[in-house]
Structure 1
């Protein structure tokens, strides 16, 4: 099965256009103000208009107010929601949309417990655990901790780039890989060359 590609933390129209031209499956917009990749509603609305119809627009939140999620959906036409905080299953489900629940991996027991709590999530995104940081750290975690039965709904993140994505796919066999820092020249600024190299690496191992 072809591994899907999500490129997150988009802040520029040209980066979205590059991702689309490379055949990326989804782009992510961050609505978490402490993040260097965060965008405002106005910025997000403009960026969303640059996203082709067949590319999913993912809105990323960390413990948001319900009203913010609704405002973002209205402003961007987001097709997928991503929750990176301590959101309950009930909170994630209330919007009537498909969503990713991000879990930060520190050890197998905590991961197993979190997966049981969010067993109804359409998709699970696994990222590295770094104390005090909800995601986007560029740190890799131990892929051997990933349960085998998760693969059909697994989005794999955490320190992935063009040089290690083939190993990540071989090890975890995820439905999709999620990259942000690994395709950047600076935080929030994507590199067209790194994006190209990343897609080529994924296609070579999974096509």
Structure 2
């Protein structure tokens, strides 16, 4: 099972997450308490392994701004978390992760036809479009409902429920942000535990000591 740790703001946390087994790191460029600048994201991304996905999260941003930030920061993927149209998604130069909130009136067929490489299914909208820590009814959807899509499961995940969520949804990847935080900041022990649970391992290497410091 692949894991994405989102809302990263410093190099120490990014490297620790990767050391624990994270496959993707998310940087939020939309309004959020986890918002980061392109310059700061670049400082982090420069030190990350090539095989790790570097995902930029945007909400109803212009194409020019997305492309500008993606190039400046060194992103490999763009996550659209707003009301972006299929045509908008197709116009972008990088692979797209389209995020959708699972609501009662959701038309799964419309999602299935959306042009994107990955489909991120998230909980209900809150103050922000994502990262609110709200789960949806996992029995309401499975990856089989979205044929041809690599499904990323998000919304309200944490170490205590990620195994059940994976069993029910059978996604390609799981995505977590608030579920690995303590007092609003990323918690390295929670990140390690979450990744171990998601990948089906109860044991993991001891945390490395990094020479980098957070701001």
How far the C-alpha of 1:95 sits from its partner, in A, is: 1.8
TM-score calculated relative to the size of structure 2: 0.87
Count of residue correspondences: 199
RMSD of the alignment, in Å?
A: 1.7
Structure 2 residue aligned with 1:36: 33
* Secondary structure of the structure 2 residue equivalent to 1:163: coil
1:20-55 Cα deviation digits (max 9, x unpaired): 1112100000001x2000001221111211322111
Structure with greater proportional helix content: 1
Contact 1:124 1:155 in 2 (8 A): yes
TM-score calculated relative to the size of structure 1: 0.90
Structure 2 residue aligned with 1:93: 90
Bigger mean CA deviation after superposition, 131-140 or 73-82 = 131-140
Tell me how far apart the structure 1 counterparts of residues 131 and 95 of structure 2 sit (CA, whole Å).
21
Tell me how far apart the structure 2 counterparts of residues 11 and 28 of structure 1 sit (CA, whole Å).
9
How far the C-alpha of 1:137 sits from its partner, in A, is: 0.7
Tell me how far apart the structure 1 counterparts of residues 126 and 175 of structure 2 sit (CA, whole Å).
20
- Which runs of 5 or more residues in structure 1 are unaligned? none
- Which runs of 5 or more residues in structure 2 are unaligned? 202-215
Contact 1:16 1:50 in 2 (8 A): no
Instruction: State which of 86, 99, 116 in structure 2 corresponds to 1:121.
Output: 116
Structure 1 residue aligned with 2:17: 19
Instruction: State which of 198, 201, 207 in structure 1 corresponds to 2:197.
Output: 201
How far the C-alpha of 1:63 sits from its partner, in A, is: 0.4
Contact 1:9 1:29 in 2 (8 A): yes
Structure 2 residue aligned with 1:146: 141
Structure 1 residue aligned with 2:204: none
* Secondary structure of the structure 1 residue equivalent to 2:101: strand
Runs of 4 or more above 6 Å deviation:
none
Bigger mean CA deviation after superposition, 46-55 or 77-86 = 46-55
Answer yes or no: is 1:110 the counterpart of 2:106: yes
